[in-house]
Structure 1
Amino acid sequence: MAAASERKVLEEIGEDFLCCTICLEQFKSPKILPCLHTFCEQCLVTLVEKTGSLNCPECRQQYQLPVGGVPAIKGNFFMSNLIEIFKQRLESIQSEIKCEACKENTGTHKCVECKHYLCKNCVRAHKKLPVTQTHQLMTIGEYKTAMSTSPVTLQAVEYCSFHRKNEIEFYCETCQVPVCSNCTIVKHRIPEHVHRDLKDAADEYLTELKAMVDKLKVKEQEAEKNKTLAKQIHTDLTEQCSREERKVRMKAEEIIKKIKREEQRLIDELKNNYKMKIKRAAADIDEMELKHGNIKSAGNYIETLMHHGNAAQLLSTKGDVGSRIKQLITMETIAKAEQSDFIFTPHIKFCEHGILGIVKSDVCMSKCTVENIPKRLLKGDSADLLITTRDSKGKQVIPKQQLKAKVRKPDASWEDINVADNRDGTHRVTVAGQLDGNIMLP
């Protein structure tokens, strides 16, 4: 666990931001996925070896492992730089620091580019060497003051990965990568490639990114609202089941013990309806939790990148950030579960029928079945049709609505016919032939 001095360093960013959610330790060789979630390189290697695929542990998205494996995944040098700042700030509060060049004298200065502490003698040598003479040197006092006020300003200059002595100064809009001056005449030549000043491109992108983040916040609010709605449906279904169960029990208490089996049957039926619907509601909550978490996680990362990243860091993930934001903004965040009733209805003539009551539920018309349909029905013939009402899962249920039936006569008109309710989810309808021709069944 970080000490009190470490917590102070992390006030602006937060300690958890610099920790891998797999190993729960500070990032080592951080790798960033297209969904903007970051993990240690070794943690991803272990994960891929275990599962055989690259799935983000945070949002569960699956990605194609690049040629070269996990080491070929884009490194998060923005995160690496934040960790370096963290380490530098811890060093800055030490009472005595040794020179990291000669390893003998007490350090008096800090090189921002090399990130090394130097004594007075090594400072003079540092200023004379052509490779390091342009480096920014600060006294230990100046460095501690800068670290306590604005550590981000001490970030080292970003150098080209191909021309390591050249500072990154331009942005190739054609390839969407930061480049140095040599790159503009070697791999990114005009007119095939369009170049811009790095800071101008970063400032313009920052404006675009702010607008996208605003939309992302609206999407987060929408997801949170629908998550709350899904939870409310879950609660309402639970409360409704409890209310109906109490009604069943109250009715059962009014009569003798012989109805206990009937009572239990009705309760089981209620709970079966409840379990089916509560499972859908629970799935909605899980989905909304995941989507809301993904949106919030991406938003937090992007805002931190905007506030603490430099121009090169900001533009290095431009493609991934834009793609991820568009993906999240267009993501479906509407709860699928619907409020659906299942109602217990007491039977008025219990003593006559021996039925305590029935549980009526929603009926899915497309799942209902009709049996005993004759191929031809002539005058003088009749047929008894058996209609079974079912829910969306195909389970036989007693409908809340009254079942009605019609037959189509030879003159194309429709006639209502009686429906006998068997009070168990089945209904009997008798149809008769009226003319020498066939009767048309609905």
Structure 2
Amino acid sequence: MAFGGSSIYKGSDLIHDYSCSKCDDNDFNTEAQHFCPECEHYLCDKCVRIHGEYFKKHAVYGRGDIKKWAGFSMDRCDQHGNKLEVHCDDHKNCVAILCSSIRHLPELARGFLKTAEFKQLPTAMDKMLSRLNELKNGKMEDQASLKVSYKNILVEIKALRKKLNQILDKLEQKTVEQLDSMMKDLEKTLKDDIKTCAHMNELLKTMMDKCRQIIGKKQGDQLLRRAQDMSNKTDGSPESSA
């Protein structure tokens, strides 16, 4: 949080959450309102206009995108972005100016180059670099292994698909063969039934014709007998009266 406005004060002791990098280079203390990630510069409203004239393609973030502002810097506070000049043992940041435990960095750094801690720093950094390289190589091996696993799984999927297709083809073939056999049997049965029905129809017609002939003959015999009976009655023969 700023302890004052964003006006320029030469040699001012005002501490802003972010100070303009360009103004700071000229010993002016101005609160930054913008940040350019490509230049890694914090910019006030005046400097951002000049920056835009020279670097039109650079994406500049304003206060509304403050989460996108730069993070790590060796000589700046990783929380606020200010140039590191003091250190607070209690708050571990650059703006705790009201704390009693504040010490200036040049004072803290005095004699540090001769300490065993500093002399061991290259060795510690080499170990850290070696460890990082190991981690990087391990991740690269994991990446290569992942690609191999991916290819192997694809091969297994395609092999399984081929096997399933073969099984489905055989099942289809067997099913069609069974269906064809059932179709032939049913067609034969239907043809036999149709033939039987036709034969029975012919027999029935023949029987009906014979029945008609028999009925017709009986009716003719009855008519003949009745005619004879009437003739006998007309002649007056005894048989007729009887």
Alignment TM-score, normalising by the size of structure 1: 0.21
Q: Using structure 2 for the length normalisation, give the TM-score.
A: 0.35
Greater share of helix: 2
Which is greater in Rg?
2
Structure with bigger strand share is 1
